[in-house]
Amino acid sequence: MSIPTPSSPTASALALREFFGDRKPPEISRKITACVACRKLKIKCHMQDSRPPCTRCKRRDLTCTVNHSLQMLLENDVTWKRSIEQKLQLMEEQIANISNATATNHAPASTGPEATPTAPSTSSATLYELHSGAHGETHSNSDTDAGADNAARHQPGWEVVMDARLNPAAMPASCVSQVPDTSPSGQLSESGRQNDLISRGAIALDMAEQFFEVYKKLDHYVYGILADHDTLSSIRAGSSLLTAAVCAVAALHSSSPGYAASYDEFVREFAAQSISRNHTLDDVRGLCIGAFWLSDMSWTLAATSARIAIEMNLHRGVSKAKHTCFDKPMADRISCYVRTRLYLIVYVCDHHFSIAYGRAPMTREFTALIAPRAFHGMEHANTPDDFRLVAQVELWSVLSRVYDTFGVNTDMAIPAHQMSEFRRLGVALESWRIDAYDKLPADADTKSIDVGLHAYFAKLYLCTHAFRGVTRTSAVPQDMEEFADAAVYTGHSLLRSLVVNPDLQMHFQGLPTYFATMVAASFVFLLKMTIKRPANVRFNRDETCALLRQASDVLIAISRSMHSQHVLYSIAVSIAKLVNGVPCTNTNPPSSATGMDSIEVATQDPTLDASNPLISDDMSWLQDGDFGIDWFEFDQALHNT
């Protein structure tokens, strides 16, 4: 007796019950999804990808286990086995297709009876030869020759070359180059670029045209990354990955039901391109576009775009742009400009999703980027988007210095010998703000975003370093008091600009993920200050609570018309949950000891863990619904407020 093969995970469970003579669904009141520790405390358990450890156990370094019922374990086992069967079946079909294609391409011209017996064994023989060649085994001379032929057809070789144009100071590994793949499979991969989500029928052509029109309104936010692609046909001819990215991002910013199909196709294209040996500039553009807006894949896409850009030597164009491109033909000068510009966008994209999250950027700092305004020396680098892009590179160069100097250890205060460097970085950020405001085009909306918001984000990131090593039971060091006050002031200014500026609210619907992330960081920073803050920080709790509620209402209003998968939609809902849990009535009288009228000084709350820092550089708390708040401690704190 054998268990019948089910056709779906639900059918798998039914097959298991029928095999044991009982088709009655198990009487389980609820599925056990919370870990033992969270169930014991009766609090909500948040797990990434529904797998332990949960955020609370991970933060407290606890053992996180989930005790499932026996029925759930049996059904999960059957479902898992069925999934493996489907994957194996798909793999067998693909291997058979490859073998048939190989047999067709290399079959002998003769069609006589003597050729017939060899046809059925082609697939197995080819697979056997490939397997033998991979392990370096030798059999008969014919097997060895066949394995060598397969290796030559499917694996490009390497050769040592000498380029007389290069001087002896060339990079050491530049003498070894890869031989281009001229096999049928290699040619097929190139022609496969025309096989995009539209030709596969995932979305209709007219829907794709609508998506392209929607995206053209968003391209300005990422410095005109599409370049000369002004039609859908143009991007389809350039890259299927770029086509899928444009459609997925546009669907995310529209009410169209095509988002799921576009997103799935983009993931499929990304998976194929991430292991491909053939990349184009348009592939890099597609990765950056996805990283800027598809928040659940941003870090992976940004890192991949940086890796591919470096593989394509785009970073070398930055240092060569002002030295070797001026005496080239016009076509070469334009190509140099386009490649250099794209690498600067990759640089900004990489820094968007690294420094704010406590990760080291993949794109490194070097002399050519410390003075990025040399890019303007190129004859084509004179558009408004070019000026905005260079300003961003300059800003992130300063923030990279902050990251490299002070690291991500929030438990250790800034040492006294680094205070001078800390102040210099503050001056550098202020100088950037003044210079950028003077040099960027006179567009009020552009300056409010490219200068105003980014200046607030950068200053908040720097000034929150003042709270490093500070706990609920300690005070901010005297040298850092002005920066702690500046962090609070910056957080207020950022949210206030969002509340009072309708034009900024309108732009927020299309801004990349980084902006929503930093707004959420401002909310959480001020919220934490309302419930646990040092006594020597100037802070008006009632004013802050009122501002948090107003800004939360604005985000809810902005997100009403947005797709439910948009990161700002989730952030708005989570922030509303956080803000609504904070009472805005000041129950503590103002302190007169410090001479600060109407400035509330925090009282000590024993329910909060005194060892927890007030601010963290790691933004991974944005990935769960609680924004880094321990709700058990949060509720206790509110009851004692």
DSSP string, 219-276: GGGGTSTTTT--SHHHHHHH-HHHHHHHHHHHHHTSS-TTHHHHHHHHHHHHHHHHT-
Say if residue 393's pLDDT is above 80: yes
- Rounded Cα distance between 155 and 309, Å, is 23
- Which has more confidence, 68 or 621? 68
Residue pair 622/593 in contact by the 8 Å Cβ criterion: no
- Which has more confidence, 369 or 318? 318
Say if residue 568's pLDDT is above 60: yes
Average model confidence (pLDDT) across the chain? 76
Type of residue at 523: F
Asked whether the bond before 184 is cis by omega within 30 degrees of 0, the reply is no
> What does the domain layout of the chain look like in residue ranges?
9-93, 195-312, 313-397, 408-639
Say if residue 267's pLDDT is above 90: yes
- By residue count, the chain amounts to 641
415: Cβ contacts below 8 Å, ≥ 6 apart = none
Residue with tokens 């998976």: 271
Residue pair 274/321 in contact by the 8 Å Cβ criterion: no
pLDDT number for residue 129: 38
Q: Give the Å distances, CA to CA, from 440 to 342, 383, 398, 446.
A: 20, 10, 18, 8
pLDDT number for residue 39: 86
Q: Is the dihedral of CA 344, 345, 348, 349 positive or negative?
A: negative
- Cβ count within 10 A of residue 52: 15
* Average pLDDT estimate for 583-612: 36
Q: Give the Å distances, CA to CA, from 381 to 315, 346, 441, 497.
A: 17, 17, 14, 32
Alpha helices by DSSP H, 275-322: 281-293, 298-311, 314-320
Residue pair 458/395 in contact by the 8 Å Cβ criterion: yes
* Average pLDDT estimate for 522-528: 92
Say if residue 23's pLDDT is above 90: no
First and final C-alpha spacing in the chain = 66
- Cβ count within 10 A of residue 489: 14
Q: Give the Å distances, CA to CA, from 213 to 46, 255, 509.
A: 38, 14, 16
- Rounded Cα distance between 355 and 442, Å, is 29
* Average pLDDT estimate for 180-203: 65
pLDDT number for residue 263: 96
Least confident range from 23-37, 451-465, 624-638: namely 624-638
Q: pLDDT of 425-435, one tens digit each?
A: 999 999 999 99
pLDDT number for residue 437: 87
Two tokens, residue 456 = 């607030």
Exposure letters 495-531 (e unless 16+ CB within 10 A, then b): beebbebeebeebbebbbbbbbbbbbbbbbbbbbbbb
- Rounded Cα distance between 641 and 635, Å, is 10
pLDDT number for residue 637: 45
Type of residue at 482: E
Least confident range from 92-106, 142-156, 173-187, 314-328: namely 142-156
* Average pLDDT estimate for 129-144: 40
Say if residue 459's pLDDT is above 70: yes
Percent of the chain with pLDDT over 90: 36
pLDDT number for residue 142: 42
Type of residue at 556: I
- State which H helix or E strand residue 178 sits in: strand 176-178
Using pLDDT thresholds of 50, 70 and 90, give the confidence band for residue 268: very high
- Which has more confidence, 148 or 534? 534
- Cβ count within 10 A of residue 50: 7
Q: Is the dihedral of CA 544, 547, 551, 553 positive or negative?
A: positive
Least confident range from 209-218, 343-352, 405-414: namely 405-414
pLDDT number for residue 211: 96
Residue with tokens 């983009």: 266
DSSP string, 11-68: HHHHHHHHHTT--SPP--SS---S-HHHHHHT----BGGG-SSBHHHHHHT-------
Q: pLDDT of 479-497, one tens digit each?
A: 899 999 999 999 999 999 9
Alpha helices by DSSP H, 407-501: 419-439, 444-447, 454-463, 481-500
pTM score > 0.85 for this model? no
Percent of the chain with pLDDT over 70: 65
SS3 176: strand
Kind of pairing, strands 158-160 and 176-178? Answer: antiparallel
* Average pLDDT estimate for 187-211: 78
pLDDT number for residue 49: 78
Say if residue 304's pLDDT is above 90: yes
205: Cβ contacts below 8 Å, ≥ 6 apart = 198
Say if residue 281's pLDDT is above 90: yes
Q: Give the Å distances, CA to CA, from 153 to 132, 146, 182.
A: 16, 11, 8
Q: Give the Å distances, CA to CA, from 243 to 203, 205, 212, 233.
A: 11, 12, 9, 9
**Of 83-87, 237-241, 372-376, highest mean pLDDT:** 237-241
Say if residue 137's pLDDT is above 60: no
Q: pLDDT of 44-64, one tens digit each?
A: 888 887 788 998 888 888 888
* Average pLDDT estimate for 508-513: 92
DSSP string, 118-172: GSTTHHHHHHHHHHHHHTT----HHHHHHHHHHHHHHS--EEE---TTS-TTS-G
Using pLDDT thresholds of 50, 70 and 90, give the confidence band for residue 399: very high
* Average pLDDT estimate for 28-40: 77
* Average pLDDT estimate for 542-551: 93
